[in-house]
Amino acid sequence: MIGDEIAGMLGDPLMQRALLAALLVGLAAPVIGTYLVQRRLSLLGDGIGHVALTGVALGWLVGNAMNLVPHDVLAVPGAIVTAIIGAVVIELVRERGRTSGDVALALLFYGGIAGGVLLISLAGGTNANLMAYLFGSISTVSTGDLWLTVILTAIILVVGIGLRTALFAVCHDEEFARAAGLPVRVLNITIAVVAALTVTVSMRVVGLLLVSALMIVPVAVAQLVASSFRQTMGIAMAIGVVVCVTGLSITYWRDLSPGATIVVIAIAVYAVVALARPLLVRSRSHDPHPQVPDDVEVAA
């Protein structure tokens, strides 16, 4: 029976923790994703994700050196610290000019991965140890991990939703925000730091390589049907939750990578919505040619 199967899944404490983590991540990731898409910085999450890998390896190295058990207890804190530093550096470089920001992002991509692999081998680990972080390891979520996820998600939601108008203002038109005396740099760094937190919180669920997909794809879907910024964010959060929980549930029965399953479902949702869009978006009740006096004299 399907009902028994689902009851069995929900009764499994390991699965309970994993589902809760997936739900929180699905809710939080699209919040910051909406701002990144708004300022056309969709790849920022990827850049931060790559940097976070170096952080994971650095945490591992330090944990090893201090003979901590297990060796990777510092991996997540390492990822958080490094991701925040990386995000702030990217933001400061971006502030100085657009072209160099693009190159800086590329350097971070390559440096992050290479640094991670190098450090993990120095720590006596193998690349296999990095796999859990690159592709996610939600099946091993402990109660402690879950608490960290709850706290980080709360921060992301409070900042991302509570400061929505201000963060929107700075992403929508930075020049106008400066001319309004808004603390533009502080707001930009806030977005960068929240993006870094989102990356590290999503790491367990989908892995660093696919973190950005969870931030961006739900927003891409929402954009197809929403007409306001607020709606886009709301719909994206709903889609994030649905794809994360669905994807993870599937892996309870089929031995698939949770992260990859979630992202594939999200992209499938995008494809379906894009195809069905003409049916979903009912023609708006606006006359595209309102009665406005002509501004040229037309000879009769």
Partner 1 sequence: MTPAVLARGVRVVLSGNVILRGIDLSVNDGEVVALLGANGSGKSTLVRALVGAVPIESGEVELLGKPLGGAVDWSRIGYVPQRVSAATGVPTTAGEVVTSGLLHGHRLRPPRHARRLVLDALELVGLTHHLDRPVRELSGGQQQRVLIARALVRDPALLVLDEPVAGVDLPSQEAFATTLGALTARGRTVLVVLHELGAIAPLVQRAVVLRHGAVVHDGAPPTPAREHGDPDHDHVHPHDPDEAFADTGVAGLRWEP
Give the footprint of partner 1 on this chain (CB under 8 A).
Answer: 34, 37-40, 97, 162-163, 165-166, 168-169, 171-173, 175-183, 219, 223, 226-232, 284, 286, 290, 292-293, 295-297
Q: Please, are residues 160 and 167 in contact by the beta-carbon 8 Å criterion?
A: yes
- Output 42 or 121, the one with its CB closest to partner 1: 42
Give the chain's count of helices (H) and strands (E).
13, 0
Q: How many CA atoms lie within 13 A of 212 on its CB side?
A: 16
Residue with the two structure tokens 């091993």: 140
- Output 66 or 172, the one with its CB closest to partner 1: 172
Task: Round to the nearest angstrom and report the end-to-end CA distance of the chain.
Answer: 77
Nearest distance from C-beta of residue 81 to partner 1, angstroms: 27
Residue in 157, 208, 177, 212 with CA at minimum distance from that of residue 95: 177
Q: Is 254 left (phi over 0), alpha (psi -120 to 50) or beta?
A: beta
Nearest distance from C-beta of residue 90 to partner 1, angstroms: 18
User: Quick one: tokens of 271?
Assistant: 């494809």
Whole-number Å distance between alpha carbons of 92 and 101: 9
Q: Peptide bond before 288: cis, by omega within 30 degrees of 0? A: no
Nearest distance from C-beta of residue 92 to partner 1, angstroms: 15
Nearest distance from C-beta of residue 183 to partner 1, angstroms: 7
- Output 3 or 181, the one with its CB closest to partner 1: 181
- Output 40 or 254, the one with its CB closest to partner 1: 40
Nearest distance from C-beta of residue 262 to partner 1, angstroms: 22
Whole-number Å distance between alpha carbons of 49 and 109: 8
- Output 177 or 244, the one with its CB closest to partner 1: 177
How far, in whole angstroms, is CA 94 from its chain's centroid? 19
Nearest distance from C-beta of residue 39 to partner 1, angstroms: 7
Nearest distance from C-beta of residue 231 to partner 1, angstroms: 7
- Output 36 or 80, the one with its CB closest to partner 1: 36
Q: Strand, coil or helix: what is 128?
A: helix
Nearest distance from C-beta of residue 188 to partner 1, angstroms: 13
- Output 143 or 228, the one with its CB closest to partner 1: 228
Residue burial 21-59, b: 16+ Cβ < 10 Å; e: rest: bbbbbbbbbbbbbbbbbbbebbbbbbbbbbbbbbbbbbb
User: Quick one: tokens of 152?
Assistant: 């980080």
- Output 182 or 250, the one with its CB closest to partner 1: 182
